[in-house]
Chains A and B, each alone.
Chain A
Amino acid sequence: MTKEECKKVVLDIIADIAPDEDLSNVKPDVRLRDQLQLDSMDFLDIVMELRKRHGIEVPEADYLQLASLDSSAEYLTPKFNALAAKG
């Protein structure tokens, strides 16, 4: 998986959690919280949807890694690839 594909995965999840948000102009390097109305309940849901849909575990200590799309891709892409390699 590429980092771009990984960003798409995260955006797809946000689109389902927060269908009332406009995601057409999300800046990858800006904190999601600063450009969208997402609260701690929503971030919990991003983490849980990653687990449910993709089998990716994000421990609580790493939640900050999901602050922006760029940081999410940086953090999650190796996890996705490791999971794919395991088959």
Chain B
Amino acid sequence: MNTRTHYDVAIIGAGMSGLAAGIRLAHFGKKVCIFERHNAPGGLNSFYSRGGRKFDVGLHAMTNFVRPGVKGTPLTKLLRQLRIDRAEFALCEQKRSRIAFGPCGETTLAFSNEFALFESEVARAFPAQIDGFRRLVAVVRQYDDVSLDATAESARAVVRTHVTDPLLEDMLFCPVMYYGSATEHDLEFGQFVIMFKALFLEGFARPFEGVRTVIRVLLEKYRAAGGERRMKCGVARIVANQGRASALVLDDGSEVTADHVLSSIGALETERLLVGPDVVDDGGAVPPGNAAEGEWRVRAGGSEPSAGTPSRQSAISNFNSQAAPGRLSFVETISILDRQPAALGWGDDTIVFFNDSVRFDYARPEADVDPRSGVICIPNNFQYGPGRELPEGIVRVTCLANYERWAHLPEGEYQTAKQRWFGIIQRSARRFLPPLEQPDAFERATVATDMFTPRTITKFTGHIGGAIYGAAAKHRQGRTRLENLYLCGTDQGFLGIVGAMLSGISMANYHILQKRS
């Protein structure tokens, strides 16, 4: 039982970024505690058990895969910073993935962990575009994507200067956006670069046991370094006093203090925890998912200086004015099969990004779900080695969804809606996989199904609006209005599972370890 009441650093959330930050800080002798409301670690990349089976959530594949010997990429930086031997993750490479566009996937671009395949596919399907594509790739390779203060540019605008066919443009944006964009239609070019490198120039891999292996390695490192964690013990309130986070009130009502607080739960989610003399709540009780009207603001014209220096003041207004919740959420269907997907003829595709419409529309749908586009993930189709295969077949399909619609359904209707959409999503995705010899072979092979919705995401992760990529506005430097409270994770803005861990590392280095002790 951890009963200390003061820490050098308190971390809110035991997801990838919180755990990575915790490992760094504990390794260098800081007294650290991670507070996690849920009973399982992992945050947005976690797992659960149901009917004796373990299901992964979040992670389809670990992006950013590079082979041993390739240096200077996010994966290598991460392994070094956390003192993880790459053998501990035991990553197995993907077989091959595809981007499939058109009503039945008529235009397809295959890619793998060998970038040459993708380049040759673009040359085959879009011969007039290949020179522009190569120029774009050169720009991407040269871009400094780890800068904490890069200027914002539209990725669509930059890409269009090189790629002039809207179909190819959309085919490039589809995987990039599905695997990390918190903004609709377009994203910042810097974010595009991070994801393009992570998906195409680097690649996909997965530990045999999925996300559980990654979480287990992180937990072991953290514990060995002397870090503490309290599970089922969230932070209920952050007490703000004279521009600082002076105390944390935990879910059980007890209080702890910390010199530094690192929050991985999201910018607006963190804002909502603030209480104290510096803070006024001018929106009354804030209903979930309706945050824009209920922002916390620093009290104007108060007699005390509410948050310190003028430079900090500008950071504050920035932090508040951008505090709109993310609009993008997802549903995912999971089918468990009594055989390997290869037995159905689905043994080649690791991930398939699909879209059936003239343009790719990455936006919050009007309806509950937008089944026109999505991502199919078949975890069996990684190269696990001879004779090594997952015990059951798994097919996951992810589509864009509307949080508001799911959030307000009464329980009975919610279950009915899940069943109805499950069928629609399956039928939509099937158009982009090889045809079955018998049309009902997939249904007959299915032994269990599950589905999560935006409502599930908010329930288990606390992310407002089921927004797994967080709010549209990112806070690269991780600053908040309080001088000793910092953000890491989704709203800091490094993307993907590797990005999440690098976010925790960067923020721990930048705000805490690099400071003079």
Contacts and interface: CB of A to CB of B under 8 A. Distances in A.
Given A44-B509, A45-B81, A20 B29 contact: no
A41 interface: yes
Given A20-B68, A20-B69, A41-B81, A48 B76 contact: no
Given A37-B71, A52-B29, A20 B76 contact: yes
Nearest to A17: B80
B514 A44 contact: yes
Contacts of B29: 52
Contacts of A18: 80
A18 to B, nearest CB: 6
A29 interface: no
B209 interface: no
B226 to A, nearest CB: 12
B83 interface: yes
Interface in B458-517: 509, 513-514
B149 to A, nearest CB: 15
Contact of A41 (B71, B77, B85, B86): B77
Contacts of A20: 68-69, 71, 76, 79-80, 86
Contact of A42 (B27, B68, B80, B514): B80
A48 B514 CA distance: 9
B72 interface: yes
A52 B80 contact: no
Interface in B52-82: 68-69, 71-72, 76-77, 79-81
A34 interface: no
Contact of A39 (B27, B68, B77, B514): B77
Interface residues of A, number: 13
Interface in A37-63: 37, 39, 41-42, 44-45, 48, 52
A19 interface: yes
Contacts of A39: 72, 77
A37 B72 contact: yes
B392 to A, nearest CB: 35
Contacts of A41: 77, 80-81, 509
A4 interface: no
A22 B364 CA distance: 49
Given A18-B80, A41-B81, A48 B513 contact: yes
A12 interface: no
A5 interface: no
Interface in B259-287: none
Nearest to B86: A20
Contact of B83 (A16, A37, A44, A52): A16
A50 to B, nearest CB: 11
Given A39-B77, A42-B80, A19 B85 contact: yes
B334 to A, nearest CB: 36
A52 B28 CA distance: 7
Interface string A74-87: 00000000000000
Nearest to B27: A52
Given A20-B71, A52-B28, A44 B76 contact: no
Interface string B380-408: 00000000000000000000000000000
B496 to A, nearest CB: 19
A48 B80 contact: no
A44 B509 CA distance: 9
B502 to A, nearest CB: 10
Which of B29, B80, B85, B513 has the most A CB atoms < 10 Å from its CB? Answer: B80
A41 B85 CA distance: 17
A17 B85 CA distance: 10
A17 B72 CA distance: 13
B414 to A, nearest CB: 46
Nearest to A36: B71
B204 to A, nearest CB: 21
Contacts of B83: 16-17
A16 B86 CA distance: 13
Contacts of B514: 44
Contacts of B86: 20
**Closest 7 A-B residue pairs measured CB to CB?**
A37-B71, A48-B28, A37-B72, A18-B80, A17-B80, A52-B28, A52-B29
Interface of B: 27-29, 68-69, 71-72, 76-77, 79-81, 83, 85-86, 509, 513-514
Given A16-B83, A17-B83, 7 more contacts: A20-B68, A20-B76, A37-B72, A41-B80, A44-B509, A45-B80, A52-B29
12 contacts: A17-B80, A18-B80, A20-B68, A20-B86, A37-B71, A37-B72, A41-B81, A41-B509, A42-B80, A44-B513, A48-B513, A52-B27
